Amino acid sequence: MSLYKTIVFLFLTLAIPPAVNAQSKLIFNETFRKEDLQKNWLTLNGKWEVKDSSIQGNKDANWAILLCNKPLPENYILTFSSLAEPETYLFEVMLNLNRNKFLGILLNQFENRVAIEDRGLFANVDMTGSFIHSVGHIGTMPKVERPKEHTWQDWKIQRSGNEFFIWINQEAITSFKDSTGFVKPKGQFGFAINGKGAIREVKLMKTKGDNSLPPKDFKGKSRIKPFFVFE
C-alpha cells in the first residue's frame, strides 16, 4: 500500500465513529426559545413562561401541565433538569401518555419521596383537582425516600423494553418492571407541577441494539414498603 493510500485509510478509519454510536440517536433537543414553544409543546393548564433558557410553570386551581409534541420511541433515554420551589408539593414526569393513561414519576417534596405510579389524565377545568389521579396498582408501585433539595436536579430516565430506570443527579434512584403491560409503547411525554417550578435542557435519545438493553448493575435506593394496598 502506498504512503498516500495508507494516510487516506487511517484518516477514514479515525474519522468514522464506532458502529455502536449509531445505536443511539438524539431525536429531540429543547433549549426553550420562545419561538419554538408553540411548535414543540402543548400547555394544557397553568401558567407557563419561557425565561432564561428554561420554561417556568405555575399551577392554578389544578396542576400546571406541559406536554411535548414529540412522540416517544420504543426505547429511549430522556434527560432534563428541574427546579421545584420549596412550597411545591409535587413535580411529576409524565411518560408514555396514551389515551389519557401514563406512567408518572413523582418527586414528592411534602413526603420527601420519589414514587412511580399508574396515572390517568382527566382534564376537567370545571372540577378542581380533577386533572391527574392514580388509577391502578395503588400501593404496589416503587417508592423510595429522597431528601428535599431546592436546587436544579439533573434527571435521566431510561426505558428498556418493559423496564424503566431513574437517576437524579447521577444517583440511581429506582426502577420499575411493567410485568402486566399497562404502560403502552410510544405516546407522549410531559411534565406536571402541583406548585411552581422550572424545566430546562430537555433531550430525548432513541436507543436500539446494545444501547437499548437495561443498564448493568443498576441498584436503586431501598424501597418503602406500602402501608396498604387497594384492590
Q: Which of 166, 171, 169 is nearest to 143 (CA)?
A: 166
26-35 pLDDT, tens digit each? 999 999 987 6
pTM of the predicted structure, to 2 decimals: 0.85
185-230 pLDDT, tens digit each? 999 999 999 999 999 999 999 999 999 999 999 999 999 986 554 4
Domain 24-212 has CATH 2.60.120.560: yes
Average pLDDT over residues 148-177: 96
Q: Which of 181, 92, 186 is nearest to 134 (CA)?
A: 92
**CA dist 68 → 15, 34, 41, 74, 204 (Å):** 35, 15, 5, 16, 11
Q: For the chain, what are the domain ranges? A: 24-212
Average pLDDT over residues 129-133: 73
Q: Which residues contact 81 (CB under 8 A, 6 or more apart)?
A: 152, 153, 154, 155, 199, 200, 201
Helix ranges (H only) for 71-136 are: none
